[in-house]
Structure 1
Amino acid sequence: MLPPTHALRSASTSPKMASTFFFLFLFSVKFLGTAEANPNYREALSKSLLFFEGQRSGRLPLDQRIIWRSNSGLSDGSSAHVDLTGGYYDAGDNVKFNFPMAFSTTMLSWGALEYGKRMGPELQNARVAIRWATDYLLKCARATPGKLYVGVGNPTADHRCWERPEDMDTPRSVYSVSPSNPGSDVAAETAAALAAASMVFRKADPKYSRLLLSTAKMVMQFAIQYKGSYSDSLASAVCPFYCSYSGYKDELMWGAAWLLRATNNPYYANFIKSLGGRDQPDIFSWDNKYAGAYVLLSRRALLNRDITFEPYKQAAENFICKILPHSPYSTTQYTQGGLMYKLPQSNLQYVTSITFLVTTYAKYMKSARRTFNCGNLVIVANSLISLSKRQVDYILGMNPLKMSYMVGFGPNFPRRIHHRGSSLPSLAARSKTLGCNGGFQSFYTQNPNPNILTGAIVGGPNENDGYPDQRDDYSHSEPATYINAAFVGPLSYFAASASSP
């Protein structure tokens, strides 16, 4: 796992347009350099979704494409007399943390909703990736009345071992929240995931969609009625791994925003407004959802012309003004090679999540034919697309090291990723069980990982565009589901754009 450190105006006048073009010129000169051929976005999209098959827990299907993985966690939930098999391991470990898993599911679903028509045949693979998570989240929400299961596997014990998921012999402890031990953050994120997914399956599988939505409503009501942070309720079971550092108010807004989109029920709009003041973040992640909620809610102001959501549109634009490199309000650092740099721990998780928001807001702007201002700088949709493209291209290899940070994409990519299954011999190569300590020889070797986790995006380079490719350097070399999940949307956008005449 990856711990963290933690009114539209017209652009018609020539001085304002000049400032916009100047911004685009500076951006191109500083970050884009000489023109190069575009990466193969469609290949990257396909591989970004394939990665999720390598993270599967449970009994694997016959059409499993990452064939060095095998069944694992088949008794998950048995200690609580429930079936909690399935779902995803969050990163390079063998724990199922529902908080980041649900966020990954929400982002995959959002990508399918916004960009599904651009995905081509990969839309079906996106649905499969989403359903692998939602099948598990449904079990967690419906297994025991009044209780939401939020994780499987003792993280402290797991992190002392280096073993394949197929060999796990650490405790598969089960964790839950309830009225007496609340978890509004993890519950509201679970509701967001189920509500977003319900729209993905609305036409493809109406019965499943209805089940997802009814469960989302139930879980969201639990989050609202029994307020509290799951970090307080579960302590060392989730901290410091996935503490809810930002509190639970952002998840309440995020979950309600997704249920509002799924149902159009004014109850959720009124609840969102009752939450009061809006934070002004300059980050978006599995922990802090404010910026995502603002962009999602701004859709109602931009596309539906609902003026009651104007404050959220303004909050979304304030967020973007903190991201753009030449904005007078920017709080975002960029590396010499042009990569957005937020925090040293798994920086690419922030790059992919923020890139999703920037791309999606630009999409809304284009549909509404709007611009906005960061001070005296006029921002047009294409300036946001340029920033997004630079981040996507950097991750795919257009960077000072000429290294793709997506495993298996391009000729030069990370070979020693911090991932147990990838770094250890598969069952086919070595059927003998490797116990808790049996894999550390492989962990410390300088040899490349024997199994290619195709599509995995690692934590990424440091602030100087450097990447040592060391297995023990988890903050740079560990992949995670939430890095990939947010990348699917922008990849879909550019895959379709690149193939357009």
Structure 2
Amino acid sequence: MEDNKQEGVFKKHSKFLHRCFVLLSIFSLFPSSCLSFDYGEALSKSLLYFESQRSGRLPHNQRVSWRHHSGLTDGLEQGVDLVGGYYDAGDNVKFGLPMAFTVTMLSWSVLEYGEQIAGAGEYLHALEAIKWGTDYFIKAHTHPNVLWAQVGNGDTDHYCWQRPEDMTTSRQAYKVDANNPGSDIAGETAAAMAAASMVFRKTNPHYSHLLIHHAQQLFEFGDKYRGKYDESIKVSKGYYSSVSGYMDELLWAALWLYKATDKEEYLNYVLENAHSFGGITWAMTEFSWDVKYVGVQIIASMLLMEKKHEKHKHVLEQYRSKAEHFLCACLNMNNATNVQRTPGGLLYTRQWNNMQYVSTAAFLLTLYSDYLRTSNQELNCHNGVLGPQEIFSFAKSQVDYILGSNPKALSYLVGYGSNYPYRVHHRGASIESYKRNQGFIGCTQGYDNWYGRHDPNPNTLVGALVGGPDNKDRFKDERSNYIQTEACTYNVAPVVGVFAKLHGLKGTDLSDNPNLLTSS
């Protein structure tokens, strides 16, 4: 009897020790920190950033005062109104694929964490950020089988260093249509409009219905006339090449349309094309403006919670297997394929603009931890079992790294704290404001007088998430170091939701949660 009792105690302690080992494997690569962060402030600033990226005629309630109207003749040469939308990064081109992904992720953030965003007083700003994009997509979708996918030329744009208010570079617009297909950009734009339609369903039902109408047409167009958009629009190559192809975007669009309409035809599309389109065969370690597979897999996984999807369990569980491969890779819990980390603990996917992969991973980890908590489940990885709190704590560590809990004690969110990048690679921010100096600054004049200055940018690009450090946590705050100091809209959109979630937990001590070690 005594032996059985000792054996039970041993098993209990073994389980506890194993749990400790699992946690150490997750957290040992980043330093513990006593820093506390104001996630509400980070949320507010991240949403403000989108106003810095606006193209078109700025509204009366524009808060970023150093920006002014720009791109007011976009589409004029082609006889179409393409005024509006977003510049993607530090240049003055409107690239449709990353713009649409930005809007999808902003919408997803609001759908999942809208209550927390509202609690922080930022709900209207979040909706404004989404609508600035969707208003443009409505304009760009001029016919059922026509989508204007880009305005401006990356090559000519990069020859000049000009404020968007002054730009003299080509504003030629490029489209995809039945003869020049672009299933990837049609699919992503459909996903963005379907997701946004859910956001506006209660506050603006007419607009919501309009977005669904466009989303359904775009999906049908993308599916019927299949092809990669960068084969039809060659000038996009080298900037936003569609490396993953278009099958992930078609699955992605179909899932968002299913969520928005509850029509079985869209779910059936995702189930029937699961294998042939790679949804249940591709195990990925990144989620980005180009590679949507993990997003598809995560959403499909969460459908398993609903009883009505019981009959699709076999296929949905295959989607879940691939989704959990990604999550376990981020958590360093796979046998072989894990996402690399810097010595300071930051997820590291690749050199150029690595923060985009950190922000998408943080969002998906946060979202999935909520899903596991709600469904009373755990994450089973090759090297151990993790509870929701452990997953969320790691996601939080990535956000805290962004905000300053890192070897350089630097906030990679511009304008947050006192130590952040002051020389962001951004044309408008690095040149004296148009509001202050309305004199024309020419193409090379910007390079001659502003680009090479060592001084901080005259305008702070508040809320921008820059590309971030290298694989050794090193970072150079230099305007010419665009690999690290350029910020993009799709870096920021995913962390909006995570900031909101963390702000909503204000006052909760996550480091002292008893579930951290004892959840079984």
Shorter-chain TM-score range: over 0.9
Match in the other structure for 1:83 = 81
Structure 2: runs of 5+ lacking an equivalent: 1-10, 510-520
Partner of 2:160: 161
Secondary structure class of the residue paired with 1:437: helix
Conserved 8 A contact 1:69-1:426: yes
2:332 to 325, 334, 338: 325
Query: What percentage of residue pairs aligned between the two structures are identical?
Result: 45
Please give the alpha-carbon distance, in whole angstroms, between the structure 2 residues aligned to 1:291 and 1:192: 15
Contact 1:32–1:390 (Cα < 8 Å) also in 2: no
Structure showing greater radius of gyration is 2
Name the amino acid aligned to 1:491: F
Q: Is the CA contact (8 Å cut-off) linking 2:363 and 2:494 kept in structure 1?
A: yes
Match in the other structure for 2:208: 209
Partner AA of 2:216 in structure 1: K
1:247 CA displacement? 0.6
The answer as to whether partners of 2:97 and 2:240 remain within 8 angstroms in 1 is: yes
Cα gap change, 1:98/1:281 in structure 2, threshold over 3 Å: closer, same or farther?
same
Of 68, 80, 93, 2:91 maps to 93
* Counterpart pick for 2:294 among 291, 294, 317: 291
Deviations 1:253-293 (A, max 9, x none): 11111111111111111111222322111111000000011
2:30 alignment partner AA: F
In the alignment, which residue of structure 2 is the partner of 1:494? 502
Partner of 2:192: 193
Could you tell me which residue of structure 2 aligns to residue 427 of structure 1? 434
Alpha-carbon distance change, 346 to 149 in structure 1, aligned in 2, over 3 angstroms: same
Equivalent residue number for residue 391 of structure 2: 384
CA distance in 1, matches of 2:30, 2:47: 28
What SS does the corresponding residue of 1:162 show, helix, strand or coil?
A: coil
Deviations 1:228-253 (A, max 9, x none): 00011111x20110010011111011
Name the residue aligned to 1:342. Answer: 349
Match of 1:3 in 2: none
Q: Any unmatched runs of 5+ in structure 1? A: 1-11
1:282 aligns with 2:280: no
TM-score, normalised to structure 1's length?
A: 0.94
Whether the 8 Å CA contact 2:150–2:174 is kept in 1: the answer is yes
CA distance in 2, matches of 1:51, 1:20: 40
* Structure 1 SS opposite 2:288: coil
Tell me the distance in 1 between the aligned counterparts of 2:34 and 2:333. 23
Once the two structures are superposed, what CA deviation does each residue of 1:466-497 show, in whole Å capped at 9, x if it has no partner?
Answer: 11101111110000000001111111111111
- The one-letter code matched in structure 1 to 2:359 is T
> Counterpart in 2 of 1:23?
22
Displacement of 1:20: 3.0
Alignment check: 8 A CA contact 2:73 2:83 kept: yes
Q: Deviations over 1:353-375 (max 9, x none)?
A: 11111111111111101013112
1:265 paired to 2:263:
yes
Question: Aligned AA for 1:39?
Answer: F
Q: How does 1:44-55 map to 2 (within 5 A)?
A: 44-55=42-53
Q: Which runs of 4+ in 1 moved over 4 A?
A: 12-18
In the other structure, the counterpart of 2:140 is 140
1:452 equivalent to 2:460? Answer yes
Between the aligned partners of 2:340 and 2:319, the Cα distance in structure 1 is 25
Using the TM superposition, name which of 257-266 and 47-56 deviates more: 257-266
Which residue is equivalent to 2:491? 483
Aligned equivalents of 2:92, 2:125: Cα separation in 1: 23
Q: Give the AA of the match of 2:466.
A: V
| 8 Å CA contact 1:404, 1:413 repeated in 2 | yes
d(CA) in 2 for partners of 1:29 and 1:156?
A: 44
Matched, 1:71 2:79: no
Using a 3 Å threshold, how does the CA distance of structure 1 residues 39 and 431 change in structure 2: closer, same or farther? same
Query: Once structures 1 and 2 are overlaid, which stretch shifts more, 296-305 or 345-354?
Result: 296-305
Matched, 1:125 2:125: yes
Return the alpha-carbon distance in structure 1 between the equivalents of residues 486 and 507 of structure 2: 32
**Displacement of 1:435 after TM fit?**
1.2
Alignment of 1:299-310 (within 5 A): 299-304=302-307, 306-307=309-310, 308=312, 309-310=316-317
- How far the C-alpha of 1:343 sits from its partner, in A, is 0.3
The Cα offsets for residues 105-164 of structure 1, whole Å up to 9 and x where unpaired, read as 0000000000001112212111000000000011111x2453111111122110110000
Describe the shift of the 1:144–1:268 C-alpha distance in structure 2 as closer, same or farther (beyond 3 A). closer
Task: Name the counterpart of 2:225.
Answer: 226
Once the two structures are TM-superposed, the CA of residue 310 in structure 1 deviates from its matched residue by 2.0
SS where residue 445 of structure 2 aligns?
A: coil
Distance 1:305 1:378, change over 3 A: farther
Per the alignment, residue 415 of structure 1 pairs with: 422
Paired residues of 2:144 and 2:218 also in contact (CA < 8 A) = no
- The one-letter code of the counterpart of 1:456 is A
Specify which of 253, 277, 291 is matched with residue 255 of structure 1: 253
Superimposed CA distance per residue, residues 404-431 of structure 1 (whole angstroms, 9 cap, x where no aligned partner)? 0011000100000000000001112221
Q: Distance in 1 between matches of 2:196 and 2:109?
A: 10
Distance 2:188 2:381 in 1: 31
Give distance in 2, aligned partners of 1:269 and 1:16.
Answer: 40
Give 1:29 deviation, angstroms: 4.3
1:442 equivalent in alignment to 2:450 = yes
Q: Is the 8 A contact 1:99 1:150 kept in 2?
A: yes
1:302 is displaced (CA, Å) by 2.9
* SS in structure 2 of the partner of residue 65 of structure 1: coil
Q: Which residue of the partner structure matches residue 402 of structure 1?
A: 409
Q: CA deviation at 1:18?
A: 4.2
Contact 1:321 1:327 in 2 (8 A): yes
Question: Paired residue for 1:9?
Answer: none
Q: Which residue matches 1:107? A: 105
Structure 1 partner of 2:469? 461
Report the CA distance between 1:214 and its aligned residue. 1.0
- CA displacement at 1:305 relative to structure 2: 6.7
CA distance in 2, matches of 1:334, 1:145: 45
Which one-letter code corresponds to 2:294 in the other structure? A
Match of 2:443, SS state, is coil
